[in-house]
Copies of this chain bind each other. A is one copy, B any other.
Amino acid sequence: MPMTDAERLATHRACTRFLTGHGPRNARRELTALAAEAAEDDRGDWYGEGETLAAFERDVATLLGKPAAVFMPSGTMAQQIALRVWSDRRGGAPVAFHPTSHLELHEQRGYAFLHALRARLVGDRQRLIRRSDLDALAEPIAALLLELPQREIGGQLPTWDELVQEAEWARAHGVALHLDGARLWETQPWFARPLAEIAAPFDSVYVSFYKILGGVAGAALAGPADFIAEARVWQRRHGGNLVTLYPFVLSARAGLRDRLGRIEAYVARAGAVARCLTAIPGVRVVPDPPQVNMMHVVLPGDSEVLLDESARIAQDERVSLFTWLRASEVPGFSTFELTVGDGAMALDDALLARLFRRVVGAGDA
């Protein structure tokens, strides 16, 4: 008998191990750790000012090799602001990004509704933007946003040479180059360069602190000092200059300190997980091999049947593999996004192979 959504959810909630990310948040544990992170006399920042916040913003700017940085509540805010500032400086010309950009898919088109920005979508939604896509642009644009890695296609990355060629196009055309670095931390093993060097071709960079770094929430925007000063004005307009952001700031600082060094292991583990999964008949990953610590896992079978089996495994084994699936455009396949963090680090290949063979009904190996 198929399970209801609530029944499935309950089985996953009762799990003790989680394949994706770092497993669920626990508010009490997180707040207790943050209290220990705060200096004894820390009064928190106040409308964007304060020693802890200012020092953290300087550290982030340095890490990214930019003159200045500003902490913001969200990447949605940071990126709309970045594109607005670049567009305003170029007479309100359109901005360009990939069809699967967060701005296009997940922000209720705030860029248009709030900022009256016009977006030129560039490239094919199933692959990265290429230099040839840029060469084909026939109208002027103010800014080009590149997302490293491109999340919605499984975390794909260009080669360093491809990236340099795209940056050359932007410079040659007077186009501001903005980096959507929501998952920038994860690209370091692929490019085998320091983060500041990866960010160097870009005029502005957004990074996130709550995804792989495990912070509560929060983002930063980095770039030239005058650009950041202008972004702070827009942050106030957005309602993002909060009376204080200190819980986010403390958690971001802790995440950067404690988790940045684990990225290489996460990426290596993602490769091993991909090999383990693709050895199961009918299971594929995109991209194969993974380029960062994430991938799309493509499963053969009906999504309702697969979700039921995942819930039953959660019930039997207290391991949560996946809680949602996206129907594929190829009938008979479903996909979920797998991010390797502390969760997958604690699950060995033999267990994963056994559980996923059960998911897809492949029988024992």
Q: Which residues of A contact B (CB under 8 A)?
A: 24-28, 30-32, 34-36, 38-44, 72-78, 80, 107-110, 113-116, 210, 216-217, 233-234, 236-247, 250
Contacts and interface: CB of A to CB of B under 8 A. Distances in A.
Given A216-B244, A236-B108, A44 B25 contact: yes
Nearest to A76: B239
16 contacts: A27-B39, A27-B43, A27-B44, A28-B38, A28-B40, A31-B32, A73-B240, A74-B242, A80-B239, A108-B233, A108-B236, A110-B239, A116-B116, A210-B244, A217-B245, A247-B247
Contacts of A233: 108
A46 to B, nearest CB: 8
A234 B110 CA distance: 8
A25 B245 CA distance: 12
Given A26-B42, A76-B238, 13 more contacts: A24-B43, A27-B44, A28-B42, A32-B35, A73-B240, A74-B242, A77-B240, A107-B236, A108-B233, A108-B236, A114-B238, A116-B116, A210-B243
Given A73-B242, A75-B239, A240-B239, A31 B28 contact: no
Nearest to A77: B239
- Main secondary structure on A side of the interface with B: loop
Given A26-B42, A35-B28, A114-B115, A74 B108 contact: no
B25 A31 contact: no
Q: Which of A26, A31, A75 has the most CB of B within 10 A?
A: A31
A141 B240 CA distance: 28
A216 B35 CA distance: 14
B239 A78 contact: yes
Contacts of A35: 27-28, 31-32, 35
Contacts of A36: 28
Nearest to A23: B43
A78 to B, nearest CB: 7
User: Which 8 pairs between the two chains have the least Cβ-Cβ distance?
Assistant: A77-B239, A110-B237, A76-B239, A31-B35, A27-B38, A28-B38, A27-B42, A74-B239
A357 B141 CA distance: 64
Contacts of A34: 31
Nearest to A24: B43
Contacts of A108: 233-234, 236-237
B74 A27 contact: no
A214 to B, nearest CB: 11
Contact of A241 (B72, B76, B80): B76
A5 to B, nearest CB: 13
Contact of A244 (B25, B44, B72): B25
A76 B77 CA distance: 14
Contact of A43 (B25, B75, B210): B25
Contacts of A217: 242-245
Contacts of A78: 239
B237 A109 contact: yes
Contacts of A24: 43
B242 A27 contact: no
A310 B79 CA distance: 43
Given A25-B43, A43-B26, A239 B238 contact: yes
A342 to B, nearest CB: 16
Contacts of A32: 31-32, 35
A222 to B, nearest CB: 17
B39 A216 contact: no
